[in-house]
A and B are shown apart, each in its own frame.
Chain A
Amino acid sequence: MVTTDTVKEPLRAVGGFYAMCLDTLIAIPRRPFAWRELIAQTWFVARVSLVPTLMLVVPFTVLTVFIINILLTEIGAADFSGSGAALGIVTQTGPVVTVLVVAGAAATAMCADLGARTIREELDALRVMGIDPIQAFVVPRVIAATIVALLLNGCVTIFGLTGGFLFSVFFQHVTPGAYVSGLTLLVGLPEVATATAKSALFGMAAALIACYKGISVGGGPQGVGNAVNETVVFSFMALFLINVIATGVGVEVAK
């Protein structure tokens, strides 16, 4: 009994999640499209994510550049620190930081909001009125998170490269010209395209997980808290998994 439950429960959750993803996909082209909600959500996600992103970029960049520069100085190639920084920031730090913030800040808020509406039975009320909650709530949220993740990735990359420049030049005494000219040595269009695609995928996955957890919540305040907790955990896991696959594909494509 217990064993069948422990097997069935996660399977059911995975199945429910897939079903909701399919519903969302089908609901995207369906009219009426919730434009107002989309704009409100995009603004909301951008507002809660921007400051934490910039706060998180600084330490991640400094760490990446610091460690790469130690390596490069050791093999006598400190002038290539720009290449190292660009590689680290564009391909890994940018998307990962974006996603940590979109999952940690935006997805949690979405899940809390939807979860609270679910336990107040607002979603059931919508269904009674003939409004599909997927179409009214989930679609705009998923699209908003995807767009904002895409845009944030750009911000993170710019901030990261600038921060890396400042750190390398003023703290680790790399020649500024060498840093700048090294930027494009290892990182070109394919890498940037992969990183952009990666962050869009991340944003979408985080929002889908948050919405699924939000609309399938049960059991009062503790339930909402747990749902948000699970959102964070599952979206981080999904993101790391996507990151492995996307990095592998990106490396092959860039060859």
Chain B
Amino acid sequence: MTSSTPSPKSVRTKRATDGLTRGLHQLGRQTQFYARTLQSLGDALVRYRGETIRLIAQMGLGSGALALIGGATVVIGFLTFAGGTVIAIQGYSSLSGIGVQAFAGFVSAFVNVRLVAPLVAAIGLAATIGAGATAQLGAMRISEEIDALEVMGIRSIAYLTSTRLVAGVFVVVPLFCVAVVMAVVGTRLSVTVTYGQSTGVYDHYFNTFLNPLDLIWSFLQAVFMAIVIMLIHTYYGFTASGGPVGVGEAVGRATRTSLIVSSFVTVAVSLAVYGQNGNFNLSG
């Protein structure tokens, strides 16, 4: 016999507060996870060095079908090259609208370094090594490999997520170099080859306005974004549930969360670092 229960009072209020509590719970769990990942960084570097090195190699060159096209390096290089090309096309046509197309080199030095390279590199990182980590960890969670690790006495967070975080930070250094170079080369090729601007004019304005300090800042920005992206992606992979669909959905959720968070990071860093001034004097 099942006894019927009376419907609870104030259902809507309860539903609303339930949603809020669940959100807070999730936020708390995420924070706890991130804290434990960061805490176990030492373990990853000292005890699981072999695994870290293996992950660095895997992330740089990619696994599965991505390895066939050259892994994260080629993907990010391609994305930033395309981003630089778009800047050239849009920038050149807008500049020649007011007759100052000579400044194309300046636009490249300014916009590529500050905006295109970090943002597009973040997109590329999230899509390649981030989503890859979520897929791997999610599959491990679904097939109960993570539980097996814990049973064997291996610290799963240190072994799986902290090592990935360390590897991500190591990998982003060369990747971001590729990103900046490809963005700049993309713009230069389109402006000088497609639009036929003389390379001397382009290089003069590019070299004059390329600010090394900006480059260093955008580099630090990229490292910071790599940390954020790896944390988010490993969290979603580590907590995946619900069979193969669950893994796929976790990858999707992780990608869009990390895109949003990393663009907010870009904004925060840009506003904090660059402020209202451009660190250049165009009008003399």
Binding site for B on A (CB under 8 A): 6, 9-10, 13, 52, 55-56, 59-60, 62-64, 66-67, 70-71, 73-76, 87, 91-92, 100-101, 104-105, 107-109, 111-113, 115-116, 119, 172, 186, 220-230, 232-233, 236-237, 240-241, 243-244, 247-248, 251, 254-255
- Name the segment of B19-27, B47-55, B137-145 touching the other chain: B137-145
In the assembled complex, which residues on chain B have CB atoms less than 8 Å from the CB atom of A92?
86, 90
Determine, out of B3-11, B161-169, B241-249, the stretch whose residues face the partner at the interface.
B241-249
Residue B128, interface by CB 8 Å: yes
A224/B115 in contact, CB under 8 A: no
Cα distance, A230 to B66, chains bound together (Å): 7
**Cβ–Cβ contact A59 & B264, under 8 A:** yes
Closest chain A residue, CB of each to CB of B249: A112
- Give me 6 A-to-B residue pairs in the complex whose CB atoms sit less than 8 angstroms apart, sorted by A's number: A52-B256, A55-B260, A63-B266, A71-B278, A109-B252, A225-B136
Q: Are A66 and B69 in contact (CB-based, < 8 A)?
A: no
- A244 close to B89 (CB less than 8 A): yes
A240 near B256: Cβ-Cβ < 8 Å: no
CA distance A113 to B242 in the complex (A): 12
Within 8 A of A (CB), among B229-284: 243-245, 247-249, 251-252, 255-256, 259-260, 263-264, 266-267, 270-271, 274, 276-278, 280-283
Are A63 and B249 touching (Cβ within 8 A)?
Answer: no
Quick one: CB contact mask for B11-48 with A, threshold 8 Å, 1 for yes?
00000000000000000000000000000000000000
Most buried by B among A64, A73, A233: A233
Contact surface of B with A, Cβ cutoff 8 Å? 64-66, 68-69, 75, 78-79, 82-83, 85-86, 89-90, 93-94, 97, 110-111, 114-115, 119, 123-124, 126-128, 131-132, 134-136, 138-139, 142-143, 243-245, 247-249, 251-252, 255-256, 259-260, 263-264, 266-267, 270-271, 274, 276-278, 280-283
Least Cβ distance of B193 to chain A in Å?
Answer: 13
- Residues on B with C-beta less than 8 A from A222 are 135-136, 139, 143, 247
**Contacts A240-B79, A247-B90 known; A228 to B247 CB distance under 8 Å?**
yes
- B260 x A108 contact (CB < 8 A): no
| A232: B residues at CB distance < 8 A | 126-127, 131, 251, 255
Give chain B residues whose Cβ lies under 8 Å from the Cβ of A254: 93
CB < 8 Å neighbour of B276 from A63, A70, A236, A251? A70
- Given A66-B271, A74-B278, verify A230-B65 contact (CB < 8 Å): yes
The prevalent SS among residues of B at the interface is helix
Q: Across the interface, do A220 and B79 meet the contact criterion of CB distance under 8 Å?
A: no
Q: Please give the distance in Å from B262's CB to the nearest CB on chain A.
A: 9
**Inside 8 A of A13's CB, which chain B residues have their CB?**
65
A16 and B143 alpha carbons, distance in the complex (Å): 30
Are B90 and A251 within 8 A (Cβ)? Answer: yes
Q: Which of B86, B248, B263 is A228 in contact with, Cβ under 8 Å?
A: B248
Nearest B residue to A54 via CB reads: B260
Give, as a whole number of angstroms, the nearest-CB distance from A226 to chain B.
Answer: 5
A67-B114, A247-B86 known; 18 other A-B pairs, CB under 8 Å? A6-B68, A52-B259, A56-B263, A67-B110, A87-B90, A104-B252, A109-B248, A109-B249, A111-B248, A112-B244, A221-B139, A221-B143, A227-B248, A228-B252, A229-B127, A233-B127, A243-B82, A255-B93
- Select from chain A the residue with minimum beta-carbon distance to B63: A226
Q: Decide if A116 touches B83 in the complex (CB within 8 Å).
A: no
Q: Which residues of A sit under 8 angstroms from B274, Cβ to Cβ?
A: 70
Chain A at the B interface: mostly helix, strand, loop or mixed? Answer: helix
Contact B259 A116 (CB under 8 A): no
Which of A62, A91, A116 touches B248 (beta carbons < 8 Å)?
A116
Q: How far is the CA of A9 from the CA of B69 in the complex (A)?
A: 10
Give Cα A73–Cα B139 distance, bound, in whole angstroms.
Answer: 51
Closest chain B residue to A80 by CB distance?
B98
Assess the B85–A244 pair: CB atoms within 8 A: yes
Residues of B within 8 A of A56 (CB): 259-260, 263
Which B residue's beta carbon lies closest to that of A241? B82
Cα A100 to Cα B252 with chains together (Å): 11
How far, in Å, is A149 (CB) from chain B's closest CB? 15
How far, in angstroms, from A45 to B237 measured CA to CA in the complex?
Answer: 22
Given A115-B248, A221-B244, A237-B78, answer yes or no on A172-B276 (Cβ-Cβ < 8 Å).
yes
* Chain B contacts for A101, CB-based, 8 A: 256, 259
Given contacts A229-B135, A230-B64, A232-B251, contact A10 B86 (CB under 8 A): no
